[in-house]
Amino acid sequence: MDILEIMQALNACHGPSGNEGQVAAAIRTLAAPYVDEITTDALGNLICHKQGTGPRVMFAAHMDSIGFIITHIDEHGYLRFGQVGGLSAHDLPGTPVRFRNGTRGVVAVQGKVEPKDWKLDHLYIDIGAKDQAEAKTMVQVGDTAVFDTTPFVSGRKLFSPYLDDRIACAILLSAMERIKHAGNDLYFVFTVQEEVGLRGARTAAYGIAPDYGIAVDVTDSDDIPDAPHECSSVAGKGAAIKVMDSSVICHPAVVKTLEDLAQARNIPYQRDILRFGGTDAGAIHQSRSGVYTGGISVATRYVHTPMEVADLDDIEACVALTAAFAQAKLEA
């Protein structure tokens, strides 16, 4: 599978937290040739099962994205919004957005608020409506919008909205394609509502009851100018093997297995420590009586902005490491 084509297909879908159905439908079509069974649970998680007799291994990548939810339409037709997941006011002005019904607009700042003082309350969305009545024929209170920016490749970097976490969905799809004979009982789970509290992973892990869990996600990259060094991973240095973030301390045995597999297969890797944030691993490892849990991440610049950046070679390393763990001889 071509990574850019997958990202283009997934980002063409409308998929903020709680509205992941279009993304799930696209992934279902892409995954169908490589697994034995695909189901959807009550919360909306897409569960792709490749049967095996070994331990149950759950890979999780979240389908949902951050976004906007409309809370008010004023008399001039401008839209006020709340956040679905984490938005920063400083990243948004001038950003094009798209609603599920195809309505498009742009984020703007009210009045003459100084940039240093920007808050989400100072922002609104302009959809080109002449007044409130026209705006209400285009968008309703409660409708959601997402970034309407376009993926592209420059050099060895992939530029795209919602690499968090559609790139991990692409990694799982690519890994599935490579796995021909796996002794382990594999569950590739495309989770919902990660951005608002790891909700989908919690229910999916409870239902599957895995022996092992691997969250595939992005992690901050420490290579930007004047980086605050709150994270350890760097774009271009290989698959980031999670050691710890604010949601999980990964099981040492899983960290070691991932590192041993990377070394044995000459997969470039680095250790990932993040002082903030979390992934689906935070919910998985606490499920039932506990799950041996780890993480494979892509070091990504500008996470939660309208255009995130990751290294194509890192993405390939994550695909290779995911496939290697899926086929490893694991203890039940």
Q: What are the backbone dihedrals phi and psi of residue 288, each rounded to the nearest 5 degrees, phi first?
A: 50, -120
Kind plus residue range of the DSSP H or E element containing 316: helix 312-327
In three-state secondary structure terms, 14 is coil
Torsion of CA 233, 324, 24, 61, to 10 degrees: -30
Taking the CA atoms of 181, 182, 185 and 186 in sequence, report the sign of the dihedral they define: negative
C-alpha distances out from residue 58 to 84, 183, 232, 271, Å: 26, 14, 25, 21
Q: Per the residue annotation, which of 114, 134, 177, 194 is the catalytic one?
A: 194
Query: In sequence order, which residues have a C-beta less than 8 Å from that of residue 8 and are 6 or more positions away?
Result: 151
Which residues sit opposite 40 in a β-bridge?
A: 46
Angle between helix 163-178 and 3-11 (nearest 10): 130
Catalytic, 5? Answer: no
Annotated catalytic residues are 194
